[in-house]
Structure 1
Amino acid sequence: MNQASWALVPKGRWIEVAGTPLTSLDAELKAALPGHRDLGSQGLAGVINAYSGVAVDAPHARWWAFGGGHADSSNNGLYRFDMAQMRWSIEQLPDNSANWAGANYVDPYSYYPPAAGYARAHPDSDVFWDEFFDPDRPAASTGNPVARHTYNGLIYNPDLQEVAFGVRRMWRYSLRTRTWKRHTPFNTPGATYSGETGYGGAAGWTFWDEVTHRYFFGPTENYNYSRWWSFDTDDQSWKWEVVTPPAWFFAQMVRVDRKLVSFPNPQSAYGTFPPRLVTYDLDTTKWETLLLESNLELSRCYSEYFEGMILTYVASRQRYVAAFRYDGDGDGAFEYRTFEIDPGTLELREAPEYEAGAFGGWHDLVKNRFFYLATLDALIYVRKGEENLRVFRLP
Structure 2
Amino acid sequence: MLKSTLLSPRLWLPLVGLTVLFAACGDSSSTPNEPTNASSSSSGAGGSGGSGGAGGEGAGVTLPGPDADWGTGSDIGSLEGNVWTPGRDENGLVNADSWALVPGGQWIEVNGTRLDALDAEVKEKVPGWNDYGSGDWSAVTTAWNSPAFDPEGSRAWWVSSGGHADSSNNGIYRFDAFRMAYAIEHLPSDTTKWSEAYKSASTFTSCPESSAEFDAAVAAGTLKEENDWFYDEVYWDRQPTARHTYSGVVYAPKTNELVMAVRRLWRYSRDEGKWVYKRLPAMDWQYKLGEENLAIYDEYKDQVLVASCGSNGPWSNTFDMNTSNWTGEGTSWNGWDWNGAADARFGDLVGIIKVPEDPATGQYAAKGLYQLFNVKERKVVKSGTVQYADGLSAVDFPVGDGGAGMVYIPPLDRYWVAAKTKEGKLGWFELNPTTEPWTLGRLVQDGPTPSLTEGNTLVRRRMLWMPKLHALVFLGVAEKNILVYRF
Q: CA deviation at 1:79?
A: 0.9
Q: Are the counterparts in 2 of residues 318 and 342 from structure 1 also a CA contact under 8 Å?
A: yes
The correspondence for 1:155, drawn from 250, 253, 257, is 250
* Larger mean Cα displacement after TM superposition, 200-209 or 261-270: 261-270
Return closer, same or farther for 1:338/1:214 CA change in 2, 3 Å cut-off. Answer: same
Residues of 1 paired with 2:449 and 2:376: CA distance? 39
Return closer, same or farther for 1:187/1:349 CA change in 2, 3 Å cut-off. Answer: closer
Q: Are the counterparts in 2 of residues 363 and 383 from structure 1 also a CA contact under 8 Å?
A: no
Q: Are the counterparts in 1 of residues 306 and 331 from structure 2 also a CA contact under 8 Å?
A: no
Residues of 2 paired with 1:356 and 1:75: CA distance? 31
Asked if residue 19 in structure 1 is aligned to residue 112 in structure 2, the reply is yes
Residues of 1 paired with 2:474 and 2:213: CA distance? 41
Q: CA deviation at 1:374?
A: 1.4
Q: CA deviation at 1:202?
A: 2.8
Q: Are the counterparts in 1 of residues 248 and 262 from structure 2 also a CA contact under 8 Å?
A: yes
Residues of 1 paired with 2:103 and 2:150: CA distance? 24
The correspondence for 1:254, drawn from 335, 344, 347, is 344
Matched letter for residue 213 of structure 1: D
Return closer, same or farther for 1:376/1:354 CA change in 2, 3 Å cut-off. Answer: farther
The correspondence for 1:53, drawn from 137, 142, 146, is 146
Matched letter for residue 72 of structure 1: D
Q: CA deviation at 1:186?
A: 4.8
Q: Give the 3-state SS of the residue equivalent to 1:109 in structure 2.
A: coil
Q: Are the counterparts in 2 of residues 251 and 307 from structure 1 also a CA contact under 8 Å?
A: yes
Residues of 1 paired with 2:99 and 2:311: CA distance? 42
Q: Give the 3-state SS of the residue equivalent to 2:121 in structure 1.
A: helix
Asked if residue 372 in structure 1 is aligned to residue 465 in structure 2, the reply is yes
If asked which structure has higher relative contact order (CA below 8 Å, sep 6+), I would say 2
Partner of 1:234: 322
* 1:147-186 alignment, distance < 5 Å: 147-186=242-281
Q: Give the 3-state SS of the residue equivalent to 1:47 in structure 2.
A: helix
Q: CA deviation at 1:360?
A: 5.2
Residues of 1 paired with 2:253 and 2:446: CA distance? 30
Matched letter for residue 428 of structure 2: T
Asked if residue 87 in structure 1 is aligned to residue 181 in structure 2, the reply is yes
Return closer, same or farther for 1:336/1:144 CA change in 2, 3 Å cut-off. Answer: closer
Query: Which whole-Å deviations, capped at 9, do the CAs of 1:23-56 have from their partners, x for residues lacking one?
Result: 1011111111111121111223322222111111
Return closer, same or farther for 1:159/1:355 CA change in 2, 3 Å cut-off. Answer: farther
Residues of 2 paired with 1:212 and 1:234: CA distance? 9
The correspondence for 2:308, drawn from 219, 224, 245, is 219
Query: Which whole-Å deviations, capped at 9, do the CAs of 1:305-340 have from their partners, x for residues lacking one?
Result: 21231211112222111122446xxxxx36543222
TM-score, normalization: structure 2?
A: 0.71
Q: Are the counterparts in 2 of residues 300 and 326 from structure 1 also a CA contact under 8 Å?
A: no
Q: Give the 3-state SS of the residue equivalent to 2:149 in structure 1.
A: strand
Return closer, same or farther for 1:325/1:96 CA change in 2, 3 Å cut-off. Answer: closer
Structure 1, gaps ≥5 residues long: 134-139, 328-332
The correspondence for 1:203, drawn from 270, 292, 301, is 292
Residues of 1 paired with 2:295 and 2:216: CA distance? 31
Matched letter for residue 253 of structure 1: D
Asked if residue 64 in structure 1 is aligned to residue 154 in structure 2, the reply is no
Residues of 1 paired with 2:154 and 2:392: CA distance? 38
Matched letter for residue 42 of structure 1: G
* 1:207-356 alignment, distance < 5 Å: 207-220=296-309, 225-240=313-328, 241-248=330-337, 249-267=339-357, 268=359, 269-270=363-364, 272-273=366-367, 275-287=368-380, 289-295=383-389, 298=393, 300-326=395-421, 333=423, 335-345=425-435, 346-353=438-445
The correspondence for 1:42, drawn from 131, 135, 152, is 135
Q: Are the counterparts in 2 of residues 185 and 238 from structure 1 also a CA contact under 8 Å?
A: no
Asked if residue 5 in structure 1 is aligned to residue 98 in structure 2, the reply is yes
Matched letter for residue 379 of structure 1: L
The correspondence for 2:231, drawn from 107, 129, 135, is 129
Residues of 2 paired with 1:372 and 1:76: CA distance? 26
Matched letter for residue 33 of structure 1: V
Q: How many residues align?
A: 374
Q: CA deviation at 1:238?
A: 0.7
Matched letter for residue 86 of structure 1: M
Q: Give the 3-state SS of the residue equivalent to 2:117 in structure 1.
A: helix
Residues of 1 paired with 2:431 and 2:202: CA distance? 41
The correspondence for 1:357, drawn from 449, 455, 458, is 449
Q: CA deviation at 1:293?
A: 3.1
Residues of 1 paired with 2:407 and 2:234: CA distance? 35
Return closer, same or farther for 1:44/1:363 CA change in 2, 3 Å cut-off. Answer: closer
Q: Are the counterparts in 2 of residues 172 and 180 from structure 1 also a CA contact under 8 Å?
A: yes
**Cα-Cα RMSD:** 2.4
Q: Give the 3-state SS of the residue equivalent to 2:445 in structure 1.
A: helix
Q: Give the 3-state SS of the residue equivalent to 2:277 in structure 1.
A: strand
Q: CA deviation at 1:179?
A: 1.1
State the percentage of identical aligned residues: 29
TM-score, normalization: structure 1?
A: 0.87
Q: Are the counterparts in 2 of residues 200 and 226 from structure 1 also a CA contact under 8 Å?
A: no
* Larger mean Cα displacement after TM superposition, 333-342 or 45-54: 333-342
* Larger mean Cα displacement after TM superposition, 222-231 or 15-24: 222-231
Query: Which whole-Å deviations, capped at 9, do the CAs of 1:230-277 have from their partners, x for residues lacking one?
Result: 11112222133032252124320122333332111112343643x342
Structure 2, gaps ≥5 residues long: 1-93
Matched letter for residue 482 of structure 2: L
Q: Are the counterparts in 2 of residues 309 and 323 from structure 1 also a CA contact under 8 Å?
A: yes
Residues of 2 paired with 1:150 and 1:259: CA distance? 22
Residues of 2 paired with 1:52 and 1:59: CA distance? 22
* 1:100-115 alignment, distance < 5 Å: 100-105=194-199, 106-115=201-210
Q: CA deviation at 1:94?
A: 0.7
